[in-house]
Amino acid sequence: MTYYIKNPLKSKALTSIACGVCGIMILNTCEELMPENSKGIDTSSNISEVPLFHKVEISLPEISAETRSALANISNLVSSRDLYAKEVLSDADRLGIPYSNGIQHTDHWTKFVDEVYNYQTLLEEANSHNIDWNLSEYDPQALATLIEEAENDVWKTEKAAMRDYYSSLGAEV
């Protein structure tokens, strides 16, 4: 069993001395344990430099002109890809094509870009056939069907016009 006895006379930093025979722990202040000749001396003036155990040093490596050029080219490439992605995504928004956030960083990006360009082509064809298409609904199959029907109507009209022309000449078709 260990007993702790606190010295009531001093209230500064405590140290402990244990007696191995009786198991009594005597708590003393640091002043009591200091030799008589060092009491009252200011020890803070003896310390000239605070030791540092770890000092963080940041040093940038030397980069050759070729490496700088390569990094600039990579930066330009990434920047142009980012601008291209923003352009494609803004076209998709304008055309009402749904997509998930971050699609430009997935494996589906090239397929998505193809869908955007194919839909733009379909809209141009629809415009050339005077088909009024609502951009708020994205349905490329329905639009392709309407374009095909319009092309069939044009073909039928042209065939009827040719038939009328040849019949007016007296030729049988």
- Decide if pLDDT at 70 tops 50: yes
pLDDT of residue 11: 45
Matching residue, tokens 């992605």: 85
Alpha-carbon distance 153 to 158, whole Å? 9
Q: How much is the pTM?
A: 0.52
Supply angle C-alpha 88, 89, 92, rounded to 5.
Answer: 90
pLDDT 10s digits, 77-134: 888 888 889 999 999 999 889 888 888 888 889 999 999 999 999 999 988 888 888 8
**Confidence at 48, pLDDT banded by 50, 70, 90:** low
Give me the phi and psi of 20, to 5 degrees please.
Answer: -75, -20
Token pair belonging to 42: 């200011």
Query: CB neighbours of 66 closer than 8 A, spacing ≥ 6?
Result: none
Domain spans of the chain?
Answer: 1-33, 65-169
8 vs 157, higher pLDDT: 157
Average pLDDT value over all residues in the chain: 77
Helices 65-95 and 109-128: crossing angle, nearest 10°?
50
